[in-house]
């Protein structure tokens, strides 16, 4: 379309350009044009100006010509100095300021696109052709800011850290409901956990990962994502829907294996494929090169303990607006999640009988 238009424009322009010389040549051949009748009206002659405009002395002109630029330069330098002084004394940006996205959104690309192979070794190829991932890497995260709701955090932040308080409550409540659902990863010398990662996995998946690590003590594993709560998944899915924060595509909340602790994202997928396959972790493939799903025994229980934990926390803090505590990511659940406080509820997780009690 653009090319067609360009071509048409060129064609349309050509005769116009050629008309003028042809017309001039024709006129030249006709000889001098006879004197036209009425001369084209011109601007009426201006009244004679008063003759007192004497040129100013040359020295004065030179002085002004030299001084004016000097004054302009001096003013510019002065204002720059003032600006620097102001910025040095200005306080840090307040928390009420709209946040700058930590990672600029990538240009939209089809999800099927092959990942670019030009990544440096050790660089996490997050966000490229992802199917359910997209947490911005820890290096890019902005300082924590306070948001009123999870929805606001999804709209204004680009880091799952913005819902950290609520996520910690969800994990703690989920561990009360089902202790083996989210088991902490033990420290290992060859395991590097990125700072924005919750290092929990479902028990069997966790044991399999630890076995892979211990079988390869000289190989380093960088974990860029493990457990992701429903609040975090809501953020990532919103970013994926809007192609924001570097996320191209993301699974809906309640449907990601990261939420049930059976998925990990590893910065060095090629080095760990064989070792993880031996522990029943399946590499997802080129569509999400960093992602491995645990397919062993523990992966069969697909209960969304994180969703149930959120529902219980919501009901405990909103007794007049209860929702079914069934572990399903329903429309009612999403509506409450959007309104939930990113820093966490006033009433936190409860273990024991009251913690496991389903309401209403």
* Residues of the shown chain interacting with Zn ion in the complex, contacts defined by CB under 5 A: 133, 265, 291
* Cβ-proximal residue to Zn ion, closest one: 291
Report the interhelical angle of 164-177 vs 230-241 (nearest 10°).
130
Q: What does residue 169 show for φ and ψ, rounded to 5 degrees?
A: -65, -40
Smallest separation, CB 199 to Zn ion (Å)? 14
Q: Which is nearer to Zn ion, 266 or 313 (CB)?
A: 266
Q: Which is nearer to Zn ion, 161 or 265 (CB)?
A: 265
Smallest separation, CB 90 to Zn ion (Å)? 41
Which of left, alpha, beta for 194 (phi over 0: left; psi -120 to 50: alpha)? beta
Q: Which is nearer to Zn ion, 169 or 224 (CB)?
A: 224
Closest CA to 261 of 221, 293, 232: 293
Q: Where are the alpha helices (DSSP H) in the chain?
A: 2-29, 58-89, 150-156, 164-177, 203-215, 230-241, 269-277, 305-317, 331-339, 353-356
Q: Which is nearer to Zn ion, 125 or 342 (CB)?
A: 125
Q: Is the dihedral of CA 170, 176, 177, 181 positive or negative?
A: positive
Closest CA to 333 of 229, 230, 227: 230
Smallest separation, CB 277 to Zn ion (Å)? 16
Smallest separation, CB 187 to Zn ion (Å)? 22
Smallest separation, CB 75 to Zn ion (Å)? 56
**CB within 8 A of 336, min separation 6: which ones?**
311, 314, 318, 321, 323
Smallest separation, CB 261 to Zn ion (Å)? 12
Q: Which is nearer to Zn ion, 134 or 342 (CB)?
A: 134
Q: Which is nearer to Zn ion, 147 or 283 (CB)?
A: 283
């Amino acid at each position: 379309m653009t090319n067609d238009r360009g071509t048409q424009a060129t064609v349309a322009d050509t005769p116009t350009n050629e008309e003028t010389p042809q017309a001039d040549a024709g006129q030249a051949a006709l000889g001098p044009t006879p004197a036209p009748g009425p001369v084209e009206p011109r601007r009426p002659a201006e009244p004679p100006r008063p003759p007192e405009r004497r040129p100013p002395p040359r020295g004065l002109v030179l002085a002004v010509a030299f001084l004016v630029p000097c004054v302009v330069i001096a003013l510019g330098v002065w204002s720059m100095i003032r600006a620097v002084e102001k910025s040095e004394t200005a306080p840090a940006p307040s928390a009420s300021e709209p946040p700058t996205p930590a990672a600029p959104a990538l240009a939209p690309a089809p999800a099927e696109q092959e990942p670019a192979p030009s990544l440096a070794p050790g660089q996490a190829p997050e966000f490229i052709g992802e199917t359910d991932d997209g947490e911005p890497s820890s290096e890019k995260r902005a300082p924590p800011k306070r948001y009123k709701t999870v929805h606001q955090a999804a709209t204004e932040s680009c880091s799952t850290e913005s819902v950290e308080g609520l996520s910690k409550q969800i994990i703690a409540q989920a561990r009360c409901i089902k202790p083996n659902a989210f088991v902490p990863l033990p420290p290992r010398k060859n395991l590097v956990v990125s700072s924005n990662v919750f290092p929990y996995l479902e028990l069997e998946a966790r044991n399999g990962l630890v076995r892979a690590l211990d079988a390869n003590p000289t190989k380093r594993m960088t974990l860029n994502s493990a457990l992701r709560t429903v609040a975090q998944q809501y953020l990532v899915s919103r970013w994926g829907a809007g192609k924001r924060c570097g996320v191209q595509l993301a699974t809906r909340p309640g449907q990601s294996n990261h939420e049930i602790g059976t998925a990990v994202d590893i910065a060095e997928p090629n080095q760990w494929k064989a070792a993880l396959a031996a522990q029943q972790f399946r590499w997802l493939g080129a569509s999400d090169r960093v992602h491995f799903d645990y397919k062993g025994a523990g992966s069969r229980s697909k209960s969304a303990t994180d969703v149930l934990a959120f529902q219980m926390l919501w009901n405990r803090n909103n007794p007049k607006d209860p929702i079914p505590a069934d572990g399903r990511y329903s429309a009612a659940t999403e509506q409450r999640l959007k309104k939930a406080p990113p820093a966490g509820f006033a009433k936190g997780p409860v273990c024991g009988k009251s913690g496991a009690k389903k309401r209403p």
